[in-house]
Amino acid sequence: MTDKTILRALKGEVLPTPPVWMMRQAGRYLPEYRATRAKAGDFLSLCYNPELAAEVTLQPIRRYGFDAAILFADILLLPQALGADLWFVTGEGPRLSTITGAEGFAKLKTKDDIHETLNPVYETVSILSEELPKETTLIGFAGAPWTVATYMIAGRGTKDQGPAHALKAEDRETFVKIIDLLTVSTIEYLSKQVEAGAEVVKIFDSWAGSLKGQDFEDFAVEPARKIIAEMKARFPGLPVIAFPREAGEGYIGFHQKTGADCVALDNSITPEWGAEHVQVSGCVQGNLASSHMVTGGQALIDETRHVVKAFSKGPHIFNLGHGITPDADPENVALMVETIRNG
Ligand code: 1CP
């Protein structure tokens, strides 16, 4: 029996104090992150520099003693490894070469070609598995096929994922090929992370909420199910966290349909709804609004207690409903952690 709290919660144990970590916990709200990033140059250089990527992963662990560290990388490294051009425009976000049809798809590489680009990421994982405190769980991750596909098809982040929906409607064959390539490549990518020392993997489907009805089943549920089934076949007992963000009713039964050990909840649902409809099926993660990390004060304390209490009857990992934002105050993060641990 392991004594790492996150692994215990993932096995279904109800702990008196929920373990805690935060999405984007290594990020621009921390002065030490900004300093290391400036040393690395740009964001991608930081992702591909194992020493510095490990350093920024460790920074929030040193500061707050979170129960988990998440590998510092990005979901868009995988399309880059498959041959897409990728760059980040400061203040705006990612840009990629676009895949708009069969011709673009044909230029992509195969799942077996990705490691050449992604080797530094695996190196970051092995450094971390040596350097993390023994009580801290190391989480590896990848984007879910649908979310990664939305960026590959549009060439950037989009509010409504319009270009990806359009390709799905107009050239379904190419769209399905992209999803299938990402599914098998994600399995290879996550497998190397686990071999290098990741103890848990998380699948980020940030744009799952724009898939409705049968599309949600085909392109959010089914790829997650395939990835999780194969990961568990290769690594028996490996815990998996799935994050079908803004899935709404799609959250109901997501554990059973995909085989995920934990389902991460966003801020579009109340903790009470999440406890009643999702936690009944297994461990959940979430879901304090990240805006409290900006505003702090008594409201942060009250809402942290509210989230802890609402999920206290089942397995729960405390987290935000989405990533912490660059304008957050590091003191508020300390206040959240203290409130969780000291009541
Ligand atoms: O300037 C900077 O330093 C870049 C900001 C940043 C950071 C810190 C980006 C650019 N990515 C990351 C790291 C990152 N991204 C992690 C590391 C681990 C962590 O601390 O959580 C992880 C897990 C991600 C995952 C990620 N990247 C997602 C899924 C989760 C989510 O937030 O919804 C998505 C959609 C991305 C794409 C991406 N990368 C970066 C930005 C600004 C974006 C979003 C673009 C958009 O809004 O469409």
Q: Pick the atom of ligand 1 nearest to 147's CA.
A: 35
Which residue's CA is minimally distant from atom 21 of ligand 1? 24
pLDDT at 21 over 90: yes
Which residue's CA is minimally distant from atom 20 of ligand 1? 24
Q: pTM of this prediction? A: 0.97
Q: For the chain, which domains are there? A: 23-262 (3.20.20.210)
Which residue's CA is minimally distant from atom 11 of ligand 1? 74
Of the residues 8, 24, 225, 245, only one is catalytic, namely: 24
Half-sphere exposure of 136 (CA within 13 A, CB side): 22
Q: Which tens digit of pLDDT belongs to each residue from 54-68?
A: 999 999 999 999 999
Q: Which tens digit of pLDDT belongs to each residue from 181-235?
A: 999 999 999 999 999 999 999 999 999 999 999 999 999 999 999 999 999 999 9
pLDDT > 90: percent of the chain? 98
pLDDT at 311 over 90: yes
Q: How confident is the model at residue 1 (pLDDT cuts 50, 70, 90)?
A: low
pLDDT at 29 over 70: yes
Q: Are 146 and 74 in contact (CB under 8 A)?
A: no
Its ipTM equals 0.91
Q: Are 70 and 139 in contact (CB under 8 A)?
A: yes
Q: Which tens digit of pLDDT belongs to each residue from 243-268?
A: 999 999 999 999 999 999 999 999 99
Peptide linkage before 332 cis (omega within 30 of 0): no
pLDDT at site 3: 84
- Cα separation, 69 vs 84, in Å, equals 28
pLDDT > 70: percent of the chain? 99
The answer to whether 74 is annotated as binding is: yes
Of the residues 34, 63, 74, 215, only one is catalytic, namely: 74
Is residue 341 annotated as a catalytic residue, yes or no?
Answer: no
CA dihedral 95, 97, 101, 104 (to 10 degrees): -160
Which residue's CA is minimally distant from atom 46 of ligand 1? 157
- The edge-to-edge listing of strands for the beta sheet with 316-320 is 68-70, 137-143, 200-205, 240-244, 262-264, 283-288, 316-320
Return the residue matching tokens 């686990």: 194
Ligand 1 within 6 A of CB of 23: yes
Ligand 1 within 6 A of CB of 141: yes
Q: For the CA atoms of the chain, what is the radius of gyration?
A: 19
pLDDT at site 343: 83
pLDDT at 19 over 70: yes
Which residue's CA is minimally distant from atom 13 of ligand 1? 74
The answer to whether 206 is annotated as binding is: yes
Tokens encoding 330: 């590091």
Q: How confident is the model at residue 53 (pLDDT cuts 50, 70, 90)?
A: very high
Q: Provide the 8-state DSSP code for 324.
A: P
Ligand 1 center to 46 CA (angstroms): 13
- Cα separation, 229 vs 118, in Å, equals 23
Name the residue of 61, 71, 74, 92 to mutate for ligand 1: max ligand atoms within 8 A of Cβ: 74
Ligand 1 within 6 A of CB of 94: yes
Q: What average pLDDT does the segment 306-328 reach?
A: 98
In the predicted model, what is the mean pLDDT of the chain?
Answer: 97
Return the residue matching tokens 């921390």: 30
- Cα separation, 262 vs 282, in Å, equals 6
Ligand 1 within 6 A of CB of 138: no
Ligand 1 within 6 A of CB of 104: no
Ligand 1 center to 13 CA (angstroms): 30
Q: Which tens digit of pLDDT belongs to each residue from 112-142?
A: 999 999 999 999 999 999 999 999 999 999 9
Of the residues 8, 29, 33, 37, only one is catalytic, namely: 37
pLDDT at 2 over 70: no
Ligand 1 within 6 A of CB of 66: no
Is residue 34 annotated as a catalytic residue, yes or no?
Answer: no
pLDDT at site 251: 98
Return the residue matching tokens 């988990």: 68
